[in-house]
Structure 1
């Protein structure tokens, strides 16, 4: 059974690489300052194709959570939440950013939805926050930066197929602990939950951990 699960996970990654190649085929360097400036200018022209569907309660809960973490680890607090990207020229993505037990470190679950739920997949990564940026290292899958821009979040990377590129994420929702159902029972769900727990990630306010 374990072997079958490993095979399923490997197949899932192969499919992911095929359908999400521009996102995954990253180089092993972060964008330069000049590239960041150029990409941020493009970022300001990007338009979401979905409206803000958060309820007032969701906005309030997330804001309260951010304020709580700002007292404990102010560098990571503005980034926390479940962010949505649905641009005119791309498929939908989610970037779920959690606090961790290590100061200045965040846990990230990146969801890709190229053709709806059936083709969706998820990846886990850790990020280090400094100078208002999250530096994300996905190992063989490359490196990227996340930068807050007003009420939005910019994700920047260097991609082998198209060079430097950027995605806009908006409308952060409250965090929830990852579960198999929340990860759509995908083959990678168990591994992501294990990584989440082993890295001290949490969806709770600092006084609860």
Structure 2
């Protein structure tokens, strides 16, 4: 079994990014830490927004599907609507689905390489507070224009991992998590 320090070093060597699931401190970033992460993100967006994988290469049909879902949820649960969609980063996606519970979201994360855990697929939950998502994994998801930042604390130091290229949600989730997804009241579209 690989030690956390080895995993962290490997992460730094491979991507230069510290991933939120490794050696995460069991607390949310403070408001001051969050602000210290958002300011650099705002300037970084100008640099990365036209680079792959952040450039929006979605088709017109995909953009319309996302817009339709967000518009519908804007009347059902306006706090959740701005976060809905599949967000992409360099080696992973974070899909934020609505829930039957107002102010709650279901987060399906797919990571590469798939050997990290559970075939790289995980399901977690978050609640909306102050225009942000607080996840059960002690991270805070914030919107900045067309980007989503995942702020977390690792080894008592705050970090932010950014996602862009938001697209529509898949109509169904992987069989591996489908039962848990459904039992938790997660939805792939509008409530019936």
TM-score, length basis structure 1: 0.74
For 2:40, the equivalent position in structure 1 comes to 42
TM-score relative to the length of structure 2: 0.81
Q: Distance in 2 between matches of 1:164 and 1:49?
A: 25
1:95–1:108 CA contact under 8 A, matched in 2: yes
Question: Cα offset for 1:78?
Answer: 0.4
Match of 1:31 among 7, 29, 32: 29
Corresponding position of 1:168: 162
Matched, 1:125 2:118: no
Shift of 1:67: 0.4
For 1:1-209, what aligned pairs fall within 5 Å after superposition?
18=7, 22-24=19-21, 25-44=23-42, 45=44, 47=48, 48-50=51-53, 51-86=55-90, 92-114=91-113, 121-138=120-137, 143-160=138-155, 163-176=157-170, 177-180=172-175, 189=176, 192-206=177-191, 209=192
Q: 1:118: Cα distance to partner?
A: 6.4
Give the Cα–Cα distance (whole angstroms) in 1 for the partners of residues 19 and 154 of structure 2: 6
Unaligned runs of 5+ residues in structure 2 are: 12-17
Unaligned runs of 5+ residues in structure 1 are: 1-10, 87-91, 181-188
Give 1:40 shift: 0.6
Q: CA deviation at 1:130?
A: 1.6
Q: CA deviation at 1:179?
A: 2.4
Contact 2:19 2:161 (C-alpha < 8 Å) held by counterparts: no
Question: 2:56–2:166: 8 Å Cα contact kept in structure 1?
Answer: no
The Cα RMSD (Å) is 2.4
Name the SS for the 2:20 alignment partner.
helix
Greater mean deviation of Cα atoms: 193-202 or 118-127: 118-127
